[in-house]
Amino acid sequence: MTQHPLVPEKRSSEAHTPGPRTIGTPPTPSSVQNPLPRATPAETLQILAEVLTPMAAKGPITRRPGVVAAVERLDLEGRAVRRVQALAEKYGRGPLLVPLPGRPLALVLDPEHVHRILDRTPEPFAAAETLKRHALQHFQPGVSLISHGGDRAVRRRLNEAVLEPEHPVHRMAESFLPVVHQEADQMLAEADDDGGALDWERFSSAWFRIVRRLVLGDFARDDEELTTLLDELRERGNLAFLRPVDDEAREDFLDRIRDALDRAEPGSLAAVMAQAQEQDADGALDADGGRPEHQVPQWLFAFDPAGMATFRALALLASHPARLRSARLQAEDESGGGVARLELLRATVLEALRLWPTTPLILRETTMEVEFEHGIMPAGVSVLIFAPYFHRDERNLDFAHRFAPEVWEEGLRRDAQGDPQRDADGEAWPLMPFSLGTGICPGRQLVLLVTSSLLARVLESREVDLLSHSLGREKEMPSLLDPYRLRFRLSER
């Protein structure tokens, strides 16, 4: 069996060397000879109860507001972090094999392993993990996230050509920002008519009008039926293989996306998609190879948690007046010349994603045996990176539980990616607002452009008071902040 070494050269003395095999007998998988540490049955039940079940119950594909409220109230996400910390204290670097019924799982405990795994996507750590494939096939079976091999390469290239992950200011920014401003202004006017009240319902209505216009075009502004149809398919995706695919509803949804792509309304990502396909010299990005109608649902889907991050960022700003004033001043200073970079607001959104990651479970799957320092991981294992464990590890991060947007600011000034400062060995602690490595979200820069621009528009003309929560400067941030319960009062400056 093919084996992929993940042991770095500087640790070669720790690497396992498989023992000799008897001639004439079938080879024994190295993962049997030298297994990774394995959770006990009691620990497996604890991982299921305290880590996996709350995350699944919240809704991995679309959130269930009632469950989110319970997870916040009962501190279940903090409890999950503490459970993984206890396992790391016992098992060291791991990874830790968790013998779940019918599906082997490996829990990543070491920050260096996070980087090595995410830097080695898709081989030997495929992004097309089995459970993820079953979940996403309900509405986007051909998306790059669950594709592999040549298909993944082509579809990833199409996503990058449209979303421009290396550019903090998208080429369509001058078309996109007026849309953001128009919808923000309408949201503020509606709030004014209601005594300055801003809640999730009002915010999300404006947010999804922005999303539909940016992705599909102005014609889709009021097409709430499209959003509802996607939400229904995502709800089926929450249960992955436990619910059958609704082929008719999925095809209806994808037909609507195809129609929008055929329309290619100027000023939309649909138009950028059409341009990318026209300019593709080898024709690989066409409908058969790139499957463009299967990439667009992911953009609509991913903008949902981006809206949650924006609303949480507004809560953080309202609770930290000095930060709000600095961000407002920067926005005013940058308002006169081109598209504003708004680095302080981008850093605030990144920090909201660190404190409350919208993708708490990052999944990969081994395509072959992989050697670690303390054992060998078999092929076909689901590899789980629990982002809150790394983002909220007070043993290693002195800012783990406080609002610390400054950790992103140098990275934003340096390369616009927002990566935190690296340590003496050149390795950053794995903070993963948009994942990391070769599978990092290709839409991250566009998300930061839109979210920061919306926040700037609100702060330009309004004072913001947070009514529902207390997130003051001296407080530890809660393990989860429920966006559906956030309430603000806005007033004229």
Q: What is the pLDDT along the chain (493 residues), one digit of tens a residue?
A: 455 555 443 333 333 333 322 233 344 456 666 789 999 999 999 999 999 999 999 999 999 999 999 999 999 999 999 999 999 999 999 999 999 988 889 999 999 999 999 999 999 999 999 999 999 999 999 999 999 999 999 999 999 999 999 999 999 999 999 999 999 999 999 999 999 999 999 999 999 999 999 999 999 999 999 999 999 999 999 998 899 999 999 999 999 999 999 999 999 999 999 999 988 877 778 767 789 999 999 999 999 999 999 999 999 999 999 999 999 999 999 987 789 999 999 999 999 999 999 999 999 999 999 999 989 999 999 999 999 999 999 999 999 999 999 999 988 876 655 566 444 455 689 999 999 999 999 999 999 999 999 999 999 999 999 999 999 776 799 999 999 999 999 999 9
- pTM to 2 decimals? 0.92
pLDDT at 30: 67
Token digits of residue 145: 């996230």
Q: Residue 32 has what pLDDT?
A: 61
For residue 476, give both structure tokens.
């530890």
CA distance 292 to 91: 44
Other C-beta atoms closer than 10 Å to the C-beta of 194 total 12
pLDDT in tens, 40-66: 999 999 999 999 999 999 999 999 999
Within 10 angstroms of residue 398's Cβ, the number of other Cβ atoms is 9
366: nearest Cα among 115, 110, 144, 104: 104
Residue 383: what are its φ and ψ, rounded to 5°? -105, 125
Task: Supply the pLDDT for residue 1.
Answer: 47
- Residue 201 CA to residue 213 CA, distance in Å, equals 19
CA angle at residue 34 from 33 to 35, to 5 degrees? 110
Q: Say what the pLDDT of residue 101 is.
A: 85
Sign of CA dihedral 344, 350, 355, 356: positive
Compute the distance between CA of residue 223 and CA of residue 293 in angstroms, rounded to an integer: 17
Catalogue the E-assigned strands of 29-172.
96-100, 103-107, 125-126
H-type alpha helices, 120-246: 130-136, 149-163, 173-193, 200-215, 224-237
| Residue with tokens 């598209």, as numbered in its chain | 339
How far apart are alpha carbons 481 and 471 in whole angstroms? 10
Residue 412's pLDDT is: 84
CA distance readout (Å), 460 to 201, 313, 328, 397: 22, 15, 7, 33
φ, ψ dihedrals at 422, nearest 5°: -95, 155
In this prediction, residue 259 carries a pLDDT of 97
How far apart CA 266 and CA 269 sit, in angstroms, is 8
Handedness of CA 447, 174, 164, 152 (dihedral sign): positive
Give the pLDDT score at 31.
60
pLDDT of residue 18: 35
pLDDT one-digit tens code per residue, 263-284: 999 999 999 999 999 888 777 7
- Given this model, what pLDDT does residue 6 score? 54
